[in-house]
Amino acid sequence: MSSFDKLNLSELLEQLPDPAFVMTRSGLYAAIYGGRDERYYHDGRDLIGKRLNDVLVPDKAEWFLKEIARVLNRNSMQVIEYELSNSDIKGLESSDGPNETIWFEGRVSSLSFKVNDEDAVLWVATNRTKQHLLQERLRALSMTDPLTQLPNRRQLNQLLTEYLDRVKRYSEIVTVLIWDIDRFKRVNDTFGHVKGDEVLVAMTRLCRRHLRRTDWLIRIGGDEFVVLMPYTKKKQAILFYERFRAEVAALAVDLKIDGLEVGVTAGMTTIRPDDVNKQIVNRADQALYQAKGLGRNQLVTS
């Protein structure tokens, strides 16, 4: 190593914007460099000589130890996304740290030499909270209907996958109901699309009024909606539909739209262990169209 390197390497490392931790297999903080970007990091020099179990709550410390072992066993750099909050730090009062969870991207590499007679890694932690929140916001927007602020069809597919797994694993009962507004095109043609949007939003409010916090109301397109009701048998779901339909009849008065006549037609099914997502929706949809064929403003179960 040249004299320049010997004299200046430590200072160069200290100028790194992100903190770089030298951590041993047993969880010892052997050295810390960088972290000069004070917008994101505080001075962590007091961690040197401590162990993960001294600093973090047991579950979080165990997670870090497993990740260190994984990198050492693979002997290659790993990129890891993780979060830290006040509740993860031992002895830290909620007022002492950031109010929100901080998200990091860790670039973790195994070192070719021993540190304190142990295998060790270099863990470079980059604060990615802003990027993470932006990604979550964009993800939420992609799964949310802009008019009603309800989940959309994309989120329905994820929810169906989760509930189908619970039905298979735990024999839970999950009822699925699809409903739409009778002759909604006539509403738009007669009163205009602005009034049509008012009807959609009002129907959303009415429906949610009768749902529990564990239920999901999802707009899958136009005037068509899906209700997911976990722990709900068909008999209970039918009672929900009847209460909802009764209030829909008074919607014209509430919206002050003279001549407005709307009803709600629905099809219902329960998730079966041998289902796939598409089968669940198709079965409820077929029941919906049967109800339409019988005269609308009623419910058919499948």
Q: Are residues 155 and 71 in the same domain?
A: no
Boundary-marking domain end, from 136, 170, 204: 136
Q: Domain with 296 in it: what CATH number?
A: 3.30.70.270
Tens-digit pLDDT profile for residues 149-179: 999 988 899 899 999 998 998 888 999 999 9
Tens-digit pLDDT profile for residues 77-122: 898 989 988 888 886 654 445 567 888 999 999 999 999 999 999 9
Q: Are residues 156 and 117 in the same domain?
A: no
Q: Are residues 267 and 282 in the same domain?
A: yes
Q: How confident is the model at residue 3 (pLDDT cuts 50, 70, 90)?
A: low
Q: Please tell me what DSSP assigns to residue 46.
A: G
Q: Are residues 225 and 184 in the same domain?
A: yes
Q: Are residues 34 and 128 in the same domain?
A: yes
Across the range 5-10, mean pLDDT stands at: 63
Give the pLDDT score at 95: 43
Q: Are residues 213 and 150 in the same domain?
A: yes
Q: How many domains is the chain built from? A: 2
Q: Are residues 17 and 106 in the same domain?
A: yes
Q: Are residues 116 and 161 in the same domain?
A: no
Q: Are residues 156 and 33 in the same domain?
A: no
Boundary-marking domain end, from 103, 136, 169: 136
- Which of 93-102, 111-120, 124-133, 198-207 shows the lowest mean pLDDT across its residues? 93-102
Q: What is the DSSP string of 148-168?
A: T--B-HHHHHHHHHHHHHHHH
Q: Are residues 109 and 204 in the same domain?
A: no
Boundary-marking domain end, from 114, 136, 158: 136
Q: Structural domain of residue 50, as residue ranges?
A: 3-136
What's the start-to-end Cα distance of the chain, in Å? Answer: 77
- Percent of residues, the chain, with pLDDT higher than 90: 52
Strands (E), the chain: 19-24, 29-34, 78-84, 102-110, 120-127, 174-181, 216-221, 224-230, 264-270, 299-301
Q: Domain with 65 in it: what CATH number?
A: 3.30.450.20
Q: Are residues 132 and 269 in the same domain?
A: no
Q: Is the pLDDT of residue 8 over 80?
A: no
Q: How confident is the model at residue 73 (pLDDT cuts 50, 70, 90)?
A: very high
Q: Are residues 202 and 124 in the same domain?
A: no
